[in-house]
């Protein structure tokens, strides 16, 4: 039984690593967004409650999110373990999750913190460009267009989206640190496995894989 929690700032490649871990360890990667959509589609009471709150522009409270996680990890595909991405999002959620695991006799989670310097994330994210016509995304550092400034597919002039401008990114990073810092502190530095996420994606994957394999050995 392998329970993984993945934390990392916007732009750190967390989605890529979640997909890698899911495949490598044969566990589902569960993001809160998918969980909400699944509950809504299944028409459960929790799903109805959550969509009602969100349709009014409200934030879904800890209790509902905790209940959704409890329900999701009861499904058969989680019997061998699971990865959570985007949860816990607050310290009270972390406390509730810890209580849930204890109550069900499940092992402590392996907490992975993908650490990337803010300046590197800003450099990566401000290098993003989009084609206004076909919406294709480029990155001047990692996936530049063949002709500078123009879409490979239709030749349209590429633009930087408002979301990819530095002040917006800095604000998102501040919000991330304010939210995630206390959660990582709550788990404690000895429980949190810090992985340098500033390297190439496959190197980051290898580093995380080593952390998980070691943690599994230690738990036996």
199: annotated active-site residue? no
Annotated active-site residue in 40, 136, 172, 199: 172
89: annotated active-site residue? yes
Annotated active-site residue in 75, 104, 133, 161: 161
Smallest separation (angstroms) from Zn ion to the CB of 91: 44
Smallest separation (angstroms) from Zn ion to the CB of 136: 5
Q: What is the largest CA-CA distance in the chain?
A: 58
Contact residues for 207 (Cβ-Cβ < 8 A; gap 6+)? 195, 196, 199
Bond prior to 88 in cis (omega within 30° of 0): yes
Smallest separation (angstroms) from Zn ion to the CB of 150: 9
129: annotated active-site residue? no
Site for Zn ion in 180-209 (CB under 5 A): none
The 126-145 site mask, x for binding Zn ion (CB under 5 A), equals -----x-xx-x---------
Question: Cα–Cα distance between 183 and 179 in angstroms, integer?
Answer: 7
Contact residues for 190 (Cβ-Cβ < 8 A; gap 6+)? none
Strand ranges inside the chain, DSSP E: 2-7, 29-31, 81-85, 110-115, 128-130, 137-139, 192-196
For residue 154, state whether it binds Zn ion (rule: CB under 5 A).
yes
Annotated active-site residue in 89, 136, 199, 206: 89
Binding residues for Zn ion, rule: CB under 5 A, are: 131, 133-134, 136, 151, 153-154
């Amino acid at each position: 039984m392998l329970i993984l929690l993945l934390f990392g700032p916007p732009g750190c490649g967390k989605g890529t690593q979640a997909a890698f871990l899911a495949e490598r360890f044969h566990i589902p990667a569960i993001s809160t967004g998918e969980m909400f959509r699944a509950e809504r589609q299944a028409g459960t009471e929790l799903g109805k409650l959550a969509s009602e709150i969100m349709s009014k522009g409200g934030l879904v409270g800890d209790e509902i999110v905790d209940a959704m996680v409890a329900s999701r990890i009861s499904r058969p595909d989680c019997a061998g373990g699971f990865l959570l991405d985007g949860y816990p999002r607050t310290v009270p959620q972390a406390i509730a999750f810890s209580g849930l695991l204890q109550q069900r006799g499940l092992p402590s989670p392996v907490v992975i913190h993908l650490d990337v310097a803010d300046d590197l994330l800003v450099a990566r994210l401000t290098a993003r460009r989009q084609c206004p016509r076909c919406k294709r995304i480029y990155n001047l550092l990692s996936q530049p267009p063949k002709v500078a400034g123009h879409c490979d597919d239709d030749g349209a002039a590429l633009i930087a989206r408002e979301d990819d401008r530095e002040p917006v990114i800095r604000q998102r990073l501040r919000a991330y640190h304010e939210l995630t810092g206390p959660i990582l502190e709550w788990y404690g530095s000895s429980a949190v496995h810090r992985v340098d996420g500033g390297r190439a994606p496959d190197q980051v994957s290898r580093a995380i894989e080593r952390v998980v394999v070691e943690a599994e050995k230690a738990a036996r």
